[in-house]
Structure 1
Amino acid sequence: MKTLLPTTIALLALFSSSTLADNWPSWRGPDNQGISYEKNVPVEWSKDKNIAWRLEMPGAAGSTPIVWEDNIFLTSVAGDDLVLMCIGTDGQEKWRSKLGSGNRDVRGDEGNSAAPSPSTDGKYVWAFFTNGSLGCFDFEGNEIWQFDVEDRYGEFDIQFGMTSTPVVHGDKLYLQLIHSGGAKVVALDKATGKEVWAVARPSDARAECEHSYASPIVYDGPEAKFLLTHGADYSIAYDLETGEELWRVGGLHPPGRYDVTLRFVSSPVAKDGMVVVPSAKRGITAAVKTTSKGNITDKKEDYFWTFDVTPDVPSPLIVDDYVYLCRENGNLIALDKATGKQLYEERTNRIRHRASPVYADGKIYLTGRDGMVTVVQAGPEFKIIAQNEIGEAIAASPVFSNGRIYLRTFDALWAIGE
């Protein structure tokens, strides 16, 4: 057996990391953590400065695009149609495929049926819409399989639509279907769409708390591996192969009272043995151990800490020794990762923030609903480096790939950088 020299191992690791950094295969990036590994990414831009191109979209959407090599995939409304689109990194549309029709706008300007983001493994791309249309396509736009999730698993009973983005891992595609009509967690064979397993997701949640607009994540660490679902008052981890429940954490409501409108929108994040679990509105944020077992709601030994504020809509971010929470009003909170102690809460852009924060090259990018992206220095001290305006409304999170930032506004797809 040939033994690799340490320098060779280091070079292979560097190559692997840089290759990974070029692609953005899911809405929260390569590891579902909102982290880009790229360097020298754009920091300053405007609608007529440092823009590579802008492509008008056929309709609005709040979904975050994904990127693999020279392909950008995104979902959109096109009139009454619900479509998956492929855009080249040169700004030219390659193809679009219709998965359904009958768009539904919700809460005024808050969103529509093209809320979930696509996912890719570098060979195929999967797209889901809030009406239950789910499909798999190859990179040339050929349909591999498609079916209606409501036909197979029951009609969705959820006020603002099933906005959860399915997650791809290994040979499976995972869905969380958390609503009042019978919540389920499902694993599909990603190549065929056939069911691998499906389990009921029991909860004692009531009223609107039964509804979830969050997305599942997969954690694949050396100490634990699981699918984490989020909604109906609990974060619940499942065995990736069998669907067995591994652990759950609740107690996320404000102490002393039950809020029947506390529906989860923000998704958890897991990194280096820690899961940061958000809730909603005036609920809490909890940091728990990835190695937990059973119902840990009242098991303090399975918590790192709890914090009495939650980001509500944007998802948390773990970077180095810090946890960042972007509140819906644009305030950024930095916490000490080990203790949960607040280091600061500072104002950025005082407008609704629906997008999740993204970290790249020592900086955190926060996207306001008005299209302004605030770039903040990462670390224990707050400093705004830049604020960039393009003048179009946005709910999608920024995407980093091959030296560029891609922003999907309600009007267009923007490529920022050279």
Structure 2
Amino acid sequence: MKTIRPALLVLVALFASPVAAENWPSWRGPENQGISSETNVPVEWGPEKNIAWRLPLPGAAGSTPVVWGDNIFLTSIAGDDLVLLCIDTKGKEKWRRKLGSGNRNVRGDEGNSAAPSPSTDGKHVWVFFSNGSLACFDFDGKEIWQFDVQERYGKFDIQFGLTSTPVLHGDKLYLQLIHSGGAKVVALDKATGKEAWAVARPSDARMECEHSYASPIVYDGEEAKFLLTHGADYSIAYDLETGEELWRVGGLHPPGRYDVTLRFVSSPVAKDGMVVVPSAKRGITVAVKTTSKGDITEKRDNYFWTFEITPDVPSPLIVGDYVYLCRENGNLVVLEKETGKELYEERTNRNRHRASPVYANGKIYLTDRDGLVTVVEEGPEFKILAQNDLGEPIAASPVFSNGRIYLRTFDALWAIGE
């Protein structure tokens, strides 16, 4: 048998196996962490630079698209209808499916019933709307199953609509239904929509604090695996297979008077044994151990640190040795991951920030509500590399796939890149 030299093997691998494009299967990316492995994404763009295409959309929404191969999925309103769109990476609509009617706009221009984002595993796409419509489709647009979550699990009692995005992991789809009508956590068989398990989610929260606009995440590390839900004054971790509560952390209100308006919007992030837990408005941010057990609210051995500021709406980001908090007012806060020591708080601009920060190729992308994307250099020193203005309102987070950035404004879907 002829021996192939190692150097030749390297050359064969280089020429036979081009770098695969990264899919973006959920609103926070491949690992629910807001991190892209893409290295050739643009830093600068404008009306005549790095715009591949712009596709007008049938209505506004704050949901983040997902991408798999040459398929882009996103939710939208179309008049009063709630629809799922499939768009190819050339900017052409492939199909749309209506999942119901009766859109509800909330807080003026803040959101509507198409706020939750889709999720995909490369064969099917799952979609949820704030009216309770939950469905699964294949990539050709064929409905696999659909049901009304409110009919199965009770009417939603939440001021601005249930905007939580279900999280997909393995063979299950997980929902957190945190509101005043009886909070529950649910695991469904993703293939059939049948219940795998459902548990009540007790808390001592009251009034508007019972409401949550955050989304659950799944952490799948070597040392721990769990579903993490966030709302009603607590982050609570559950066993993925049984729904057993593993741990919870509370005490997230600022000291002093209990504020009944502190509902959670920002979602936690978990990476490398650490969970960064945001709160709301004038609340705190805490970093706790993924291996925690029981109620750790007063068990300081389970904490890495506590920080006096929370991002409120955008979700935290963990990259390397640093934690990034993008505040609603546009300030970027960078902390040492291990200690929580503040390295800086600097202004990007003074516009509202609703989208969550995303990392790619040594850079942090911060998207404000008016469509201005600020690109900041990763690391302990503040440096703005670019500011790119689309001139359209946006609440969705950036999506990175195959050398492009996809931005879903209230008016259109943009493909940024060559």
TM-score, normalised to structure 2's length?
0.96
Kindly state the Cα deviation for residue 304 of structure 1 after the two structures are TM-superposed: 0.1
Rounded to whole Å, the distance in 2 between the matches of 1:237 and 1:280 is 19
Rounded to whole Å, the distance in 2 between the matches of 1:88 and 1:299 is 50
How many positions carry a matched residue from both structures? 412
Rounded to whole Å, the distance in 2 between the matches of 1:392 and 1:39 is 26
Per the alignment, residue 189 of structure 1 pairs with 189
Question: Residue 208 of structure 2: SS of its match in structure 1?
Answer: helix
Over residues 297-348 of structure 1, what are the superposed CA-to-partner deviations in whole Å (9 max), with x where a residue is unaligned? 0000000000000000000000000000000000000000000000000000
Kindly state the Cα deviation for residue 374 of structure 1 after the two structures are TM-superposed: 0.1
Structure 1 residue identity aligned to 2:322 = Y
Per the alignment, residue 98 of structure 1 pairs with 98
Question: Residue 42 of structure 2: SS of its match in structure 1?
Answer: coil
More divergent stretch after superposition (252-261 vs 302-311): 252-261
Per the alignment, residue 154 of structure 1 pairs with 154
Over residues 19-61 of structure 1, what are the superposed CA-to-partner deviations in whole Å (9 max), with x where a residue is unaligned? 7761000000000000000102100001332100000000000
Rounded to whole Å, the distance in 1 between the matches of 2:47 and 2:236 is 42
Rounded to whole Å, the distance in 2 between the matches of 1:7 and 1:202 is 60
Per the alignment, residue 404 of structure 1 pairs with 404
Per the alignment, residue 289 of structure 2 pairs with 289
Kindly state the Cα deviation for residue 255 of structure 1 after the two structures are TM-superposed: 1.2
Per the alignment, residue 3 of structure 2 pairs with none
Question: Residue 191 of structure 1: SS of its match in structure 2?
Answer: coil
The 8 Å contact of residues 116 and 164 in structure 1, kept in 2 or not, is answered as yes
The 8 Å contact of residues 21 and 37 in structure 1, kept in 2 or not, is answered as no
Rounded to whole Å, the distance in 2 between the matches of 1:73 and 1:375 is 25
Per the alignment, residue 145 of structure 1 pairs with 145
Per the alignment, residue 229 of structure 1 pairs with 229
The 8 Å contact of residues 20 and 30 in structure 1, kept in 2 or not, is answered as no
Question: Residue 22 of structure 1: SS of its match in structure 2?
Answer: coil
1:75 and 2:75 correspond: yes
Kindly state the Cα deviation for residue 70 of structure 1 after the two structures are TM-superposed: 0.2
Structure 1 residue identity aligned to 2:185 = V
Per the alignment, residue 377 of structure 1 pairs with 377
Structure 2 residue identity aligned to 1:193 = G
Structure 1 residue identity aligned to 2:200 = A
The 8 Å contact of residues 227 and 238 in structure 1, kept in 2 or not, is answered as yes
Question: Residue 222 of structure 2: SS of its match in structure 1?
Answer: coil
Per the alignment, residue 265 of structure 1 pairs with 265
Rounded to whole Å, the distance in 1 between the matches of 2:172 and 2:18 is 25
Rounded to whole Å, the distance in 2 between the matches of 1:383 and 1:18 is 33
Rounded to whole Å, the distance in 2 between the matches of 1:26 and 1:7 is 38
Question: Residue 382 of structure 1: SS of its match in structure 2?
Answer: coil
Per the alignment, residue 220 of structure 1 pairs with 220
Per the alignment, residue 318 of structure 1 pairs with 318
Structure 1 residue identity aligned to 2:36 = S
Q: Report matched runs for 1:351-390 at 5 Å.
A: 351-390=351-390
Per the alignment, residue 168 of structure 2 pairs with 168
Instruction: State percent identity of aligned pairs.
Output: 85
Per the alignment, residue 3 of structure 1 pairs with none
Per the alignment, residue 115 of structure 1 pairs with 115
Rounded to whole Å, the distance in 2 between the matches of 1:18 and 1:403 is 13
1:34 and 2:38 correspond: no
CA RMSD of aligned residues (A): 2.0
- Gaps in structure 2 of 5+ consecutive residues: 1-5
Rounded to whole Å, the distance in 2 between the matches of 1:349 and 1:65 is 25
The 8 Å contact of residues 18 and 38 in structure 1, kept in 2 or not, is answered as no
The 8 Å contact of residues 18 and 37 in structure 1, kept in 2 or not, is answered as no
Kindly state the Cα deviation for residue 354 of structure 1 after the two structures are TM-superposed: 0.2
Rounded to whole Å, the distance in 2 between the matches of 1:327 and 1:18 is 39
Per the alignment, residue 60 of structure 2 pairs with 60
Rounded to whole Å, the distance in 1 between the matches of 2:249 and 2:121 is 30
The 8 Å contact of residues 84 and 96 in structure 1, kept in 2 or not, is answered as yes
Per the alignment, residue 339 of structure 1 pairs with 339
Question: Residue 338 of structure 1: SS of its match in structure 2?
Answer: coil
Kindly state the Cα deviation for residue 14 of structure 1 after the two structures are TM-superposed: 11
The 8 Å contact of residues 132 and 150 in structure 1, kept in 2 or not, is answered as yes
Q: 1:235/1:22 Cα in 2 relative to 1: closer, same or farther (>3 Å)? A: same
